[in-house]
Amino acid sequence: MNELLSSLYANPAFWLLLTLAIFILGQKIFFAARFNPLLSPIIITVASLIALLKTLNVPYETYFSGAGFIHFLLGPATVALAVPLYEQRRNLAKLWLPLLCGLFAGCVAAIFSVIAIGWMLGLSSETILSMVPKSVTTPIAMGISENIGGMPDLTAALVVITGILGSIIGRPFFNILKIRSEPVVGVSLGIAAHGMGTGAAFQISNRAGAFGGLGMGLSGIISAFLAPLLAGPLMRLLGL
């Protein structure tokens, strides 16, 4: 039995199929729960896989050998966001100035706030630098982290946590503030919670999702330039 299980765990297709099966189950639970953000398919899938890997004592590298194909699809999925962006091109053209101002303000706020909070909590400079690109989509965030002296692996984990939290609290937060504008909600979710936030925006409407994709893409580009320029001087100002 142990040899059979070892052979199964070593099969990359097993982990790929298991991940997809858990995600599909998570979707059914999400629909049954009337789209409760605490029961998002992503949260259910991540929590279930972590519990399984820990229980079965399976290394992450073994799991990723099969599930890495899903990671590869992140690129095409991001490119596919161009479709709703194209459909909303006229609305985007009309709002280019407030969008640009909002994107810069959001990126600067994300960088300054995480450094200030890390400094107040007494975190190490390397940890703080790893946190700086937490609101940027994973491939760009890891590149930024490595460039400014952070730990890319830690950054990747923080990006996932940020996306999950953003997708959970984003919509209720806007409801509390009575913000109904789809461009505002979409761009804000895209800037703050990258791909997961964009997914939450698409649950509102295609228009909100299109603006979320725009926010996610452009905030990644802007952060790639701003993070090296702002993080270092601010860290030195705080004595880190």
pLDDT band at 232 (very low <50, low <70, confident <90, very high): confident
pLDDT at res. 96? 77
Query: Higher-confidence residue: 27 or 88?
Result: 27
Q: How many CB atoms lie within 10 A of CB 94?
A: 11
Mean pLDDT lowest for which of 62-76, 104-118, 126-140, 187-201?
A: 62-76
Q: What is the per-residue pLDDT across 188-227, written as a single tens digit (0 to 9) for each?
A: 888 888 777 887 788 778 788 888 888 887 888 888 888 8
pLDDT band at 33 (very low <50, low <70, confident <90, very high): confident
Gap between the Cα atoms of 122 and 147, Å rounded: 22
Q: What is the per-residue pLDDT across 110-132, written as a single tens digit (0 to 9) for each?
A: 888 888 888 888 888 888 888 88
| Contact status, residue 145 vs residue 158, Cβ threshold 8 Å | no
| Contact status, residue 200 vs residue 193, Cβ threshold 8 Å | yes
> What pTM was computed for the model?
0.71
pLDDT reading at 239 higher than 80:
no
What average pLDDT does the segment 25-31 reach? 86
